[in-house]
A and B are shown apart, each in its own frame.
Chain A
């Protein structure tokens, strides 16, 4: 199961949540918050998106975080 960790000093929680809801039709996401990270686990990825979903999702979170500033 692929997972990605976002540092809360850089990424906004709201941006991650919005990105999850935007990508929810492509995969199943589960969020877990630790001290300074939000861990996003991704599974049940739609076929054809396996290789790119983590990268594209990270880019989308980055774009939303920039928008939040």
Chain B
């Protein structure tokens, strides 16, 4: 049974606990994963026990895959932390722009038309044209 066990010690200053948990979670279909840490919480011990009997080559491959996954999860976590503010800003902006216009914003000033832009062309110049046509005849 112990032949299938891989033990890895990780420094929690380098790898965030959330990244370690995410990497371990990706392996629960292939191995039994168990975590422990030292009293200071500086080192995290990961124990991966393959669910099936595997050769030394496969064991090394499992270890490599886990380390790659850990690096990937760590990078994702770092990018997520760095982009947190901009993500929140984008979502806030999207939600705010999707809100319906309140009655306070839509007050009487908004309906004023001092330049007469809202008046239809026929209404504004229709009579003038008719008068011009009559005068030509």
Contact = CB atoms under 8 A, between A and B. Distances in A.
Contacts of A54: 32
A43 B10 CA distance: 32
Contacts of A56: 32
Given A11-B35, A65-B21, A66-B22, A59 B41 contact: no
Contacts of A9: 37, 41
Given A55-B49, A69-B18, A63 B25 contact: yes
A56 B31 CA distance: 9
Contacts of A66: 21-22, 24-25
Contacts, number: 41
A33 B28 CA distance: 25
Given A7-B36, A10-B36, A58-B33, A69 B28 contact: no
B11 to A, nearest CB: 15
13 contacts: A5-B36, A10-B17, A10-B21, A10-B44, A11-B35, A55-B51, A58-B34, A59-B28, A62-B24, A62-B25, A63-B28, A66-B21, A69-B21
Interface of B: 17-18, 21-22, 24-25, 28, 32-37, 39, 41, 44, 49, 51
Given A10-B21, A62-B21, 14 more contacts: A4-B34, A7-B36, A9-B41, A10-B35, A10-B37, A10-B44, A54-B32, A55-B49, A55-B51, A59-B32, A59-B33, A62-B24, A62-B25, A66-B21
